[in-house]
Amino acid sequence: MKKKGIASRILWVLSILTLIFLWAPMILIIVFSFSSNKYGSSWEGFTTKWYVKLFTNDQVRDALMRSLIIAGVTVVIATLIGTITAYGLYKLNFRGKQFLRTSILLPIVFPSVVTGSALLVFFTRLVHIPLGYPSIIIAHIVFCSPLAVFIILGRMQRFDWSWEEAALDLGATPLRTFIRVTGPQLLPAIMASAMLIFPWSFDDFVITYFVAGVGSTTLPIYVFSQLRFGATPVINTIGTLFVSITMLGLVLVYFVQKMGKSNT
């Protein structure tokens, strides 16, 4: 019993130290975003003027709008593609199904540098898609769709397919059955996918850096370009914005998944 007690205390201490290690940089960014120090590197009093400067900066505002537009379009298209693909992979039987299901993981497991450089070559030398909004959105869809596929596939493993069969037996068309029966049951997983895809697309830097053209600076690229000239308090406020959006997405995913479990 004493050994178990000591082991549990060690695990508890290690867990706390791990959380501190992971959260300390983000907490410092959030704290110093409210510091009046003009370099944003020490505490000299509370202020919100850096947030005012953030939202009155035309370059930041334009970069933020680009990131929001790209992430919004990516969420809609990637979630739709992921839903259709997951449904097909689960319901249909065809040769090479397992290989296709495994290969969908490639955009996730490949290093971002490899994916970004491959997409750059594809856009500039093969299909000649102009670098900018089109190339960025397509690139984001490529690495975000697999996330939706596997989240929705996981929900399908717990789905009672007898409801769908009953609706078809009663004369409903496959489309009407999906809209009225299957779709509502998959909705928590679809919403969870969308909420995870949004911050993933919004925060992406490496792949976007490769495929973004002139005049298509997103917020992560803007932050990188500013950091080359030294840190400023505005960068801390942008970091706080990133953390807030990501955490909001994770919290919403938690409640959506909890709602989905309570309905099953």
Question: Which residues make Cβ contacts (< 8 Å) with residue 113, sequence separation at least 6?
Answer: 206
* DSSP class of 65: H
Nearest to 120 by CA among 221, 218, 207: 207
pLDDT score for 231: 62
| C-beta of residue 144 within 8 angstroms of C-beta of residue 74 | yes
pLDDT score for 260: 59
What is residue 170's three-state secondary structure? coil
Rounded to an integer, what distance in angstroms lies between the CA atom of residue 92 and that of residue 109? 25
pLDDT score for 40: 65
Rounded to an integer, what distance in angstroms lies between the CA atom of residue 193 and that of residue 3? 42
pLDDT score for 256: 67
pTM of the model: 0.78
Q: What's the number of CA atoms in the CB half-sphere (13 Å) around residue 223? A: 22
pLDDT score for 81: 93
pLDDT score for 102: 80
| C-beta of residue 3 within 8 angstroms of C-beta of residue 11 | no
Return the structure tokens found at 169: 């037996």
| Percent of the chain whose pLDDT exceeds 70 | 91
Question: Which residues make Cβ contacts (< 8 Å) with residue 42, sequence separation at least 6?
Answer: 32, 35
Nearest to 67 by CA among 212, 169, 192, 220: 220
Residue 35 backbone dihedrals phi, psi, to 5 degrees: -85, 145
Residue ranges in the chain whose pLDDT is less than 50: none
Q: Domains (ranges, CATH) in the chain?
A: 33-263 (1.10.3720.10)
